[in-house]
Amino acid sequence: MEAKRHKKLQFRRKNLTHGRRIANACSALMQGMYYPGSESDSFYESFCIPFPAQIVTAANFALAAQLSNIWIVTVTPLSDWLTQMLTTQEPADLATYKNLERLLGATRLAPESYRVIATPNNYCHSFHKTRQHFLRLMDGELSGLRVFSVET
């Protein structure tokens, strides 16, 4: 019975795209880490979408991620944000940022890395902001991590 189960799991893994495998690996490496600075307890999760464009812009990301027009999307280089965040004095936060930096360095097969933020355009004093960290892969996928953050 165990051999049959193993064979079934092995078959499922074969059907994963390269981007999905990278996203799952990143998620596993960030397991148990929260997004620093958020008022929520949201863990990092894998994220992968087909993405045929060569450059990530707010417009083409919103289209690929099927975000409605209630979202304001901002795209910045992930390395710029990480450089700023690595100056934090909080040890737990620093460990999370260093882990993200290691993931970025460990997957240099991706030419570009981006930080994408989607914010509802009608937020009031308390709102949700989705922060997404991506690795741009060569095979037409955006792959990486997503975390939900509550900002006030």
Which of the four pLDDT bands, split at 50, 70 and 90, describes residue 66? very high
Task: Tell me the Ramachandran region of residue 122: left when phi exceeds 0, alpha when psi lies from -120 to 50, beta otherwise.
Answer: alpha
In this structure, are residues 97 and 89 in contact, taking their beta carbons and an 8 Å threshold?
A: no
* Cα–Cα dist 23/135, whole Å: 9
Residues 16-42: tens digit of each pLDDT:
888 888 889 888 988 888 777 666 677
Calculate Rg over the CA atoms of the chain: 17
Two tokens at 142? 């955006």
Q: What is the pLDDT of residue 98?
A: 84
pLDDT at 99 over 70: yes
Q: What mean pLDDT comes out for the span 99-121?
A: 70
Domains, the chain, in order of start with CATH, read 18-151 (3.40.1460.10)
pLDDT at 10 over 80: no
Q: Helix or strand or coil: residue 100?
A: helix
Q: Which helix (H) or strand (E) holds 22?
A: helix 18-29
Neighbours of 114 (CB within 10 A): 22
136 vs 115 pLDDT, higher one: 115
* Cα–Cα dist 143/140, whole Å: 10
